[in-house]
Amino acid sequence: MSVIAAPVPPTTSFSRRSVFGLAGTVLCCAFICVFSAWIGLKAAYPFVSAATVREQSTIWEARIKRDQLTIQRMQREIAATRNHEGAIIAARRLGWVLPNERPLRVPNR
């Protein structure tokens, strides 16, 4: 009686087990790649949305700064008209003249 109970079948380089093993390996690698890409997109979303919000806030900050400068300019003009000379200057802008003065008209070129 022999020590080996059943003879070992001859192995081929292209057996069914190796085909399924290779296909399983390829599918597993493909799944890992797709899953990693999906995780990467999910992880990048907060940074992309933060960049959009940052851009919009920069635009709003520029508008606010411009409006603050306009308000300061208007406040200076109002403060300048609170004395007698400022009132005269504001009236001259509207076309008024002092008594015994004649308006000066400069013809267009």
Structure tokens at 49: 């949305």
In the predicted model, is pLDDT for residue 21 greater than 60?
yes
Residue 9 included in any domain: no
Range of the domain at 73: 21-93
Mean of the per-residue pLDDT values of the chain:
84
Evaluate whether residue 108 is within a structural domain. no
7 within a domain of the structure (yes/no): no
Whether residue 53 lies inside any domain: the answer is yes
Our count of domains for the chain comes to 1
Cβ neighbors of 88 (< 8 A, separation 6 or more) are 98
pTM over 0.75: no
Better-scored residue on pLDDT, 46 or 61: 61
- pLDDT > 70 in the chain, percent: 83
Per-residue pLDDT for 99 more than 70?
yes
Of residues 51, 50, 28, 48, the one with CA closest to residue 40: 48
106 within some domain: no
